[in-house]
Amino acid sequence: MLVQFQNDQAANNIRVLRTKRRGPILRVDQDCPDLALAAEGIMLVDGERVLLLDCGDGLRGLVLGAANPGARMLLHDDNVGNLELARRNVALNAAILPNLCVVNNNWLKRDAAAGEVDVIIFFPDRFSSLKIIAATITVGRRLLAAGGRMYLVTHRRIGGVRHEAMLHGDFTDVHVIARGHGGYRLLEARGGGAGPLATSNLRSVIVFDILGRRFELESEPSLFAKDGLDDGTRLLLESVDLSAFGRLLDIGCGWGAVGLVAATVNEHGRVVMVDVDTRAVDVAADNAVRLGLRQRAAIVASDNLGTIPGDFDLALSNPPFHADGATLLRLFGLARQKLRPRCELYLVVEQTYVTRFRLIVESAFGNVRFHTPSDGAFVVLAAHA
């Protein structure tokens, strides 16, 4: 796909492998008013180190890099699928945009990363919770050098006022510097308040009892069920026999509840826990260490179950309800391939989504059944390979 942006010749030469938009040409001014506002309103100085959080497929970084060729653009995303696509798109345009680089969580977690960038740019996702956005802002502030600044591109009707209030919590000088088409606003924040924060300070300890045992694990504001074990996951764990598996696959592990509870209950079983969110994987790995399970629990950041070695005799999942049908069909199709013959996948689904998930799982496995009663707030579905 060819990208066009007004008369900017560098941006007009950008090519991307894929975006959510269809067609051979993406016109930034018409198709991405939030990105157009940022490209026109953010003035970067040559040599500045700029970190773009939640970069997605890399399109935003490419356009901003073309608009500011003298700045060094660092692109980051917690989703490993997005990160890989961004890396490919940056490589595709390296000849015309040598100032871009994709960085992963290992770069962000370094102690030296604190205070290492001059500018943070963040486009809050309209579907993200306010707590996730607040946590991202706080992490971003930790990375800013003295005198650094943060830019948020928000929508006045979709969280914009609250996003501005969040910035006031971490910065002393916050104001709107530009307005664009469709209600978008560009916020600039300067003067970080209390100084650098360790990312571990964002975590909280959650305590819960299940299957006759007490667990104390960590979570973060950006993760699902950050305050404790959710009702759906509890139903899943309490309704499945965890005593006999040899090798279990936890699909979408989050902070680790399913896989780590299973490994604790079954002292001889091994678990492989997979999530696309690198932040979730980091927390789950630390939780495995807390429980002394690091030798029997492997935690992997991946968006492709096909790359996970070996096969399994049990798979469990509290799947992402918001994912599109094609993504879920691919996910469950790969899960079926990883299961040994006649072994089963169990997944917990909110009642609202039962019909949708039944159809998708049956398409992937050729069979599906209710493992728990079908009239509860949550339902556990099962399918065998």
Contact (CB, 8 A) for 221 and 210:
no
Calpha distance 93→62 (Å, rounded): 8
Contact (CB, 8 A) for 177 and 188:
yes
Domain that holds residue 109: 31-198
- Count other C-beta atoms under 10 Å from residue 335's C-beta: 25
76 and 118 housed in the same domain: yes
Determine, yes or no, domain membership for 179: yes
The CATH number linked to 164 is 3.40.50.150
The confidence score (pLDDT) of residue 376 equals 85
The pTM for the full model equals 0.75
Determine, yes or no, domain membership for 247: yes
Determine, yes or no, domain membership for 23: no
Q: Which of 149, 179, 198 is the last residue of a domain?
A: 198
Helix (H) or strand (E) holding 88: helix 80-92
Q: How many structural domains does the chain have?
A: 2
180 and 52 housed in the same domain: yes
The confidence score (pLDDT) of residue 203 equals 79
66 and 103 housed in the same domain: yes
Distance (Å) of CA 105 to CA 186, 205, 283, 377, 385: 26, 22, 12, 36, 35
Give the closest residue to 121 by CA, choosing from 70, 182, 187, 183: 187
The confidence score (pLDDT) of residue 287 equals 95
| pLDDT tens-digit profile, the chain (385 residues) | 556 555 555 556 777 776 555 556 667 766 788 999 999 999 999 999 999 998 988 999 999 998 899 999 999 998 888 899 999 999 989 988 899 999 987 777 665 567 789 999 999 887 677 777 887 888 788 888 888 999 999 987 777 778 888 888 888 899 999 998 888 999 999 987 444 444 445 678 999 999 999 999 999 877 888 778 999 999 999 999 999 899 999 999 999 999 999 999 999 999 999 999 888 899 999 999 999 999 999 999 998 898 899 999 999 999 988 888 888 999 999 999 999 999 999 999 999 999 999 999 999 999 999 999 988 899 999 999 9
Cα 147 from chain centroid?
Answer: 29
219 and 353 housed in the same domain: yes
The confidence score (pLDDT) of residue 139 equals 79
Determine, yes or no, domain membership for 357: yes
